[in-house]
Amino acid sequence: MKIGIVVFPGTNRERDMAQAFQVASGQAPEMLWHQQDNVDGFDLIVLPGGFSFGDYLRSGAMAAHSPIMRAVRQFAEKGGYVLGVCNGFQLLTEAQMLPGALLRNAGMRFLAQDCHLKVEGRDSVFTAGWKSGAVFRAPLAHGDGNYTASRDVLDRLEGEGRVAFRYCDAAGRVKDDDEHINMNGSARSIAGVLSENRRVCGLMPHPENLTEEILGGTDGLPLFSGILEALG
């Protein structure tokens, strides 16, 4: 299985992402520079976290128009798998490959802490590593993670089982208006969503940073082992 990780100027989580896939598969993904204009031959493209183009204009806005994103969009339209984490999620919404947008955190502060996520998405390789309803811990680190979309879009996402992950407490309780649980103020506590064909997934927290005991736990590993198992 061939995995490519896209690197933009200002990306800073590409090594963490590569390490997570290395741990799960024993194989190192390939790094792809943003000026590259094709992604032929890859099975999965990953857009990692960071501050692409310094978050100028809006987080992910500049990166969404870089040469490689044209190729990634075509790749996705042909049924390719794409995972975006943190800045990668912001980028996917800016590129209109996922619905909604990520606003400034409701409390204005940059958040760097652990959160808990409830796995809700159905029938996707990105949630295949968990049982539906499972709860896991993940670090998060972002200033713009407040997910928003129109009510129609939110209803549709929920109705189609396309809310992949939701913020919750350690016991799995979801509370939209509790800033200790839904810390960035996201609409309906949404932390991650799936595209219509369920092959594009974006989420704000960083499961890649909890994939080895030496990092403090392996709570995030099922994301990677699940993808690898599902895609063979």
Partner 1 sequence: MKVRVFVYLKKGVLDPQGKAVEHALHSLGFNNASDVRISRVVDLHIKTTEAEEAKKQGEKMARALLANEVIEDFYVEVSA
Catalytic site positions: 86, 206, 208
In sequence order, the 6+-apart residues with CB closer than 8 A to the CB of 76 are 82, 97, 195, 199, 200
- 29 vs 202, which CB is nearer to partner 1? 202
| Nearest Cα to Cα of residue 105 among 157, 57, 140, 60 | 140
Assess 148 for contact with partner 1 (CB under 8 A): yes
- Give yes or no for residue 215 binding partner 1 (CB under 8 A): no
Tell the smallest beta-carbon distance from residue 187 to partner 1 (Å): 10
Nearest CA-CA partner of 128 in 21, 223, 192, 200: 223
* Residue 112 in the binding site for partner 1 (CB under 8 A): no
Please give the DSSP secondary-structure letter assigned to residue 224. Answer: H
Decide if residue 22 touches partner 1 (CB under 8 A). Answer: no
| 10, 15, 36, 58: which one binds partner 1 (CB under 8 A) | 58
Q: Which tokens sit at 36?
A: 């590259």
111: CB partners within 8 A, 6+ apart: 105, 140, 141, 142, 143, 145, 183, 184
Q: Does 105 bind partner 1 (CB under 8 A)?
A: yes
Using CB under 8 A as the binding rule, whether residue 122 contacts partner 1 is answered as: no
Binding residues (CB under 8 A) for partner 1: these are 57-58, 61, 65, 93-94, 99-101, 103-108, 146, 148-149, 185
